[in-house]
């Protein structure tokens, strides 16, 4: 029998064996996570060429939808394994806002694999392809209600076709721009549990999820268009409706659209998804978020999250969304426990770690919150939500200059965002820069004449400049439009200056928050409360 032919790759002092999935340096093994190894294979198969971030995400996480930040973390791990530090780019060059390029010279060397004929089963070099193809068929069988017996019969048939698999492997070795050991994009990206039979609809949906994960204004708008196109291709594509709902739910946090409009669109989309597939966990999870963030319907939110977690107890996203709902109700100890469970299921997730930091902040454990946000920023220095939340934590500690710096960084990274502008004006006022705060307030008032400016931005900056009456006025407006920020009014330190105000107490009562749990900290105290009282006294004396 003739031996099979494959290749190993060498660059610098490193040697990569794609078949055995081994990276060595000077003959010694170098540990890499599976995702980092996949990223390396993608890059070394296209030396000198730009590999777009979307291509890498599809090749590495084709079976799941992840944020771009996960790729940033994976590339960072790969660089550490290759001993790249700081601005050192001996091997991997970053192309800003685009992707990465492998820049080192690569030697591709023939290697002999062990013999494996048809009777011996599937060749070792084909195992990665077989696993990916098996996952594809398993996902397809689940989504189309095929039995386990049918799937087993398929696998039995697959083992008798090793000659076909070996032919596929030999063909793959001749394709220079596809990474060895990584499944072809069209196969791996198909394994999503998708319930559409239209491949083009699935492609549009996948692209929509990619743009949704960017968490930018442009990305969210583009994602909605792509989900709409997917639905036009397949009007019964439930997951596409969920994707569209989740995109609409993000718009208010960027000040792009009033919450009442965005959440109404999201609610309609998620109800359509449930009409098409009432068992879809993603739809129930989305409905749970809508119920507590916008509708302040705490019992429905709990019911929806419990439903998801009974079906999929390791759903990390459902766990941290449930954790946020528990926190909003004042059940902070339960919330922290749930958030830590989510982190255990997905410890490298930037989004989950960032939410854990926010729960520490709500818990008034500011040191732990700061440590967690710094950890997130070590993974991705450009994650603007961690910057702004770190700034809010510094505000709650009375460290106003540090708060201004972090919020300014968040504003730079996020782009135009009137919520961040309001937060920055508030921080500047507390730091003593009242001129800067008044300037931002004037800008927001001017912008509100021709574009949407969240009422909560005006709450913060009015409070910062000492106009408590205007702050209460805008707080009532935020309540009228169901601002997503009010969902956390019971426990967020930003609301401490209002806690003794009868109108705020009445607002909490109307939201059903007065008797939904006891927060484990002293509300209505601390630096923000004291600063507001000082500003109120100063304003009253003017």
What residues does each domain of the chain span? 5-109, 119-188, 195-313, 414-542
- How high is the pLDDT of residue 525? 55
What integer best gives the mean pLDDT of the chain? 80
- How high is the pLDDT of residue 495? 94
Judge whether 63 and 188 are in contact, CB under 8 Å.
yes
Element (H, E) at 224: helix 217-233
Instruction: Determine the average pLDDT of the residues in 311-327.
Output: 93
Tell me the CA distances in angstroms from 230 to 190, 196, 208, 262, one per residue in order: 15, 10, 9, 20
Question: What is the per-residue pLDDT across 437-476, written as a single tens digit (0 to 9) for each?
Answer: 999 999 998 988 888 889 999 999 999 998 989 999 999 9
Task: Quickly list DSSP for 190-218.
Answer: T-S----S-HHHHHHHHHHHHHHHT-SHH
- How high is the pLDDT of residue 143? 45
Region of poorest pLDDT, from 207-216, 308-317, 328-337, 421-430: 207-216
CATH class of the 195-313 domain in this structure:
mainly alpha
Instruction: Determine the average pLDDT of the residues in 296-305.
Output: 96
- How high is the pLDDT of residue 375? 94
Residue 108: strand pairing partners:
9
Q: For residue 257, which phi and psi values (nearest 5 degrees)?
A: -160, 145
Q: Which fold has domain 5-109?
A: Arc Repressor Mutant, subunit A (1.10.10)
Region of poorest pLDDT, from 196-200, 365-369, 391-395: 196-200
Band of pLDDT at residue 168, cut at 50, 70 and 90: very low
Judge whether 194 and 202 are in contact, CB under 8 Å.
yes
Query: With 0-12 CB in 10 A as exposed, 13-18 as middle and 19+ as buried, what is 436?
Result: middle
- How high is the pLDDT of residue 189? 32
Q: Which of 14-28, 103-117, 193-207 has the highest mean pLDDT?
A: 14-28
Nearby residues of 315 by Cβ (< 8 Å), 6 or more positions away = 281, 285, 308, 309, 345
Instruction: Identify the residue with better confidence: 369 or 4.
Output: 369
Band of pLDDT at residue 532, cut at 50, 70 and 90: low
Instruction: Identify the residue with better confidence: 132 or 185.
Output: 132
Q: Which of 196-210, 306-320, 358-372, 501-515 has the highest mean pLDDT?
A: 358-372
Query: With 0-12 CB in 10 A as exposed, 13-18 as middle and 19+ as buried, what is 366?
Result: middle
Separation of alpha carbons 452 and 461, rounded Å = 16
Instruction: Identify the residue with better confidence: 28 or 253.
Output: 28
Nearby residues of 331 by Cβ (< 8 Å), 6 or more positions away = 516, 517
Residue 275: strand pairing partners:
none
Residue 17: strand pairing partners:
22
Question: pLDDT at residue 194 above 80?
Answer: no
- How high is the pLDDT of residue 87? 61
Region of poorest pLDDT, from 74-78, 439-443, 478-482, 491-495: 74-78
Do 5-109 and 195-313 agree at the fold level?
A: no
- How high is the pLDDT of residue 65? 59
**What six digits make up the tokens of 164?**
């076909």
- How high is the pLDDT of residue 36? 87
Question: pLDDT at residue 5 above 80?
Answer: no
Instruction: Determine the average pLDDT of the residues in 394-399.
Output: 96
Pairing of strands 28-29, 92-95: unpaired
Pairing of strands 50-52, 99-102: antiparallel
- How high is the pLDDT of residue 111? 62
Q: Which of 125-139, 370-384, 440-454, 528-542 has the highest mean pLDDT?
A: 370-384
Instruction: Determine the average pLDDT of the residues in 43-70.
Output: 79
Question: What is the per-residue pLDDT across 357-385, written as a single tens digit (0 to 9) for each?
Answer: 999 999 999 999 999 999 999 988 889 99
Instruction: Identify the residue with better confidence: 450 or 87.
Output: 450
Nearby residues of 190 by Cβ (< 8 Å), 6 or more positions away = 62, 136, 139, 140, 199, 202
Q: Which segments of 14-102 are extended strands (E)?
A: 14-17, 22-25, 28-29, 50-52, 92-95, 99-102
Band of pLDDT at residue 254, cut at 50, 70 and 90: confident
Cα 538 to its chain centre, rounded Å, is 42
Tell me the CA distances in angstroms from 51 to 79, 85, 106, 201, 338, one per residue in order: 16, 21, 16, 24, 37
N-to-C CA span, the chain: 96
Q: Note if the pTM is more than 0.75.
A: no
Region of poorest pLDDT, from 87-91, 205-209, 418-422: 87-91
Percent of the chain, pLDDT > 70?
76
């Amino acid at each position: 029998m003739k031996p099979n032919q494959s290749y190993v790759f060498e660059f610098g002092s490193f040697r990569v064996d794609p078949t055995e999935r081994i990276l060595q340096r000077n003959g010694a093994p170098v540990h890499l996570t599976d995702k980092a190894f996949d990223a390396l294979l993608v890059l070394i198969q296209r030396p000198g060429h730009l590999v777009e971030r979307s291509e890498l995400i599809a090749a590495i996480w084709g079976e799941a939808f992840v944020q771009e930040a996960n790729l940033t973390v994976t590339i960072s791990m790969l660089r550490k394994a290759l001993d790249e530090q700081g601005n050192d780019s001996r091997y991997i060059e970053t192309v800003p806002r685009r992707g990465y390029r492998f820049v080192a010279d690569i030697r591709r060397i023939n290697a002999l694999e062990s013999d494996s004929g048809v009777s011996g089963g599937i060749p070792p070099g084909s195992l990665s392809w077989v696993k990916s193809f098996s996952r594809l068929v398993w996902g397809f069988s689940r989504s189309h209600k095929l039995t386990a017996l049918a799937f087993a019969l398929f696998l039995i048939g697959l083992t008798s076709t090793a000659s076909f698999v070996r032919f596929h492997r030999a063909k793959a070795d001749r394709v220079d721009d596809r990474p060895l050991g990584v499944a072809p994009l069209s196969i791996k990206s198909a394994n999503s549990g998708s319930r559409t039979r239209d491949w083009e609809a699935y492609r549009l949906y996948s692209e929509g999820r990619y743009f949704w994960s960017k968490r930018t204004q442009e990305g969210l708008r583009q994602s909605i268009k792509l989900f709409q196109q997917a639905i036009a291709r397949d009007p019964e594509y439930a997951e596409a409706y969920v994707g569209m709902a989740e995109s609409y739910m993000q718009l208010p946090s960027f000040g792009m659209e009033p919450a009442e409009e965005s959440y109404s669109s999201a609610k309609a989309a998620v109800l359509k998804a449930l009409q098409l597939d009432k068992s879809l966990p993603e739809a129930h999870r989305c409905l749970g978020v809508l119920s507590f963030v916008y509708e302040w319907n705490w019992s429905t939110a709990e019911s929806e999250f419990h439903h998801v977690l009974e079906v999929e107890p390791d759903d990390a996203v459902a766990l941290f969304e449930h954790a946020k709902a528990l926190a909003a109700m004042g059940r902070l100890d339960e919330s922290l426990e749930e958030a830590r469970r989510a982190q255990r299921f997905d410890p490298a997730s930037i989004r989950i770690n960032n939410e854990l930091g926010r729960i520490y902040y709500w818990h008034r454990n500011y040191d732990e919150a700061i440590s967690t946000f710094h950890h997130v920023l070590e993974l991705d220095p450009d994650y603007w939500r961690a910057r702004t939340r770190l700034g809010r934590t510094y505000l709650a500690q009375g460290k106003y200059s540090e708060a201004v710096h972090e919020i300014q960084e968040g504003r730079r990274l996020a782009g135009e965002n009137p919520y961040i502008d309001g937060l920055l004006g508030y921080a500047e006022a507390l730091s003593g820069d009242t001129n800067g705060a008044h300037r931002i307030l004037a800008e927001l008032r001017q912008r509100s004449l021709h574009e949407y400016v969240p009422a909560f931005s005006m709450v913060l900056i009015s409070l910062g400049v000492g106009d408590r009456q205007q702050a209460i006025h805008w707080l009532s407006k935020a309540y009228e439009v169901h601002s997503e920020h009010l969902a956390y009014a019971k426990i967020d330190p930003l609301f401490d200056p209002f806690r003794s105000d009868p109108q705020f107490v009445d607002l909490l009562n109307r939201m059903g928050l007065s008797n939904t749990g006891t927060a484990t900290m002293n509300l209505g105290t601390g630096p923000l409360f004291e600063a507001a009282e000082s500003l109120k006294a100063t304003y009253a004396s003017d």
